[in-house]
Amino acid sequence: MQKRELGKSNLEVSAIGLGCMGMSFGYGPAADKKEMMSLIRSAVERGVTFFDTAEVYGPFTNEELVGEALAPLRDQVAIATKFGFKPDPNGGPRWSGLDSRPEHIKEVAEASLKRLKTDVIDLFYQHRVDPNVPIEDTAGAVKDLIQQGKVKHFGLSEAGAETIRRAHKVQSVAALQSEYSLWWREPEADVIPTLEELGIGFVPFSPLGKGFLTGKISEDTQFDKTDFRNIVPRFTAENRKTNQALVDLIGKFAQQKKATPAQIALAWLLAQKPWIVPIPGTTKLHRLEENIGAAAVELTREDLRQLETAASKISVQGARYPEELQKLVGR
């Protein structure tokens, strides 16, 4: 698979990474650990070198899975993980607020290194901006970890343009991770121009719209009771019915290109900027192979123009997060 550099960071990774969250958390019950270890190793065999996890996925179990799966292949891959949430003091599956105090960041780094079975974290993201801690202090804490050799690169997740600028002055930001896809294009307004100006890479999560852009979800799809999509306004049955128009459009392009809708959605992202690296997640080998195949799908300028024109006429319905989660975004 082709490689891409995340901005001017010297962090070179496969053009498509693997988001590992859904293996343990978020989209229904956790998958079988042995099967997921096998899937992660299969991804490496197929050229994937960029793996995404976080302490709160599980919590903790996803980092343990990724660490164990990649331990024998550690020198071939880059592992990204995240800090910034307070784990539930009762040991539950949710967090209890944000915590990016420098001392907490350093504690998280030590714990993550153990779970990931490694002596260095390739990319350490702040998971959400903490309004109670100046971003300069957060960036400074990660700078210390980089100087100590425990972290290689600093990242932000779901941060706004002003925060990115302030953080970057203290410690260069290698990558921003935020949601971006054909059905969530808000980053195009302020964030992507800021990243381009500063030489920062962009790692879109949910590049397939939490599965919706694959064409495999309809208004009748029933999600498991533990599936996060049950509380997402964009995933109400009514909104799914309306939003099907975008999936149908992508499906038409997929037929023309002899590709799948998922491959068109990922190829569209790859065509936006050479420093964009999407991280679709999956628990299935055939989906992994399908997603990786997107790197070989060529969209011409004319294809992109046609897709853009047609997509601009479709108004996607429903917020992408419930209100309390949306408040954590874009600060």
Catalytic residues, by residue number, are 57
Q: How far is CA 224 from CA 13, 76, 229, 232, 288, in A?
A: 33, 35, 9, 14, 22
At 177, the amino acid letter reads Q
What are the residue ranges of helices labelled H in the chain?
33-45, 61-70, 102-115, 135-147, 161-170, 191-198, 237-257, 261-272, 285-293, 301-312, 323-326
Helices and strands (DSSP H and E) totals, the chain: 11, 11
What 3 state SS string does 139-187 have? HHHHHHHHHCCCEEEEEEECCCHHHHHHHHHHCCEEEEEEECECCECHH
Helix (H, G, I), strand (E, B) or coil at 96: strand
| Angle at alpha carbon of residue 131, lines to 126 and 137, rounded to 5° | 60
- Joined together, the tokens standing for residue 80 give 């990204």
Residue position matching structure tokens 């702040």? 126
Inter-residue contact 68 to 94 (CB < 8 Å): no
Q: How far apart are CA 38 and CA 57, in angstroms?
A: 19
Residues 195/198/203/204 CA torsion (nearest 10 deg): 0
Q: Using alpha carbons only, how large is the chain's radius of gyration in Å? A: 19
Q: Which residues pair with 82 in a beta bridge?
A: 125
Q: How far is CA 125 from CA 28, 76, 89, 142, 173, in A?
A: 25, 20, 22, 9, 9
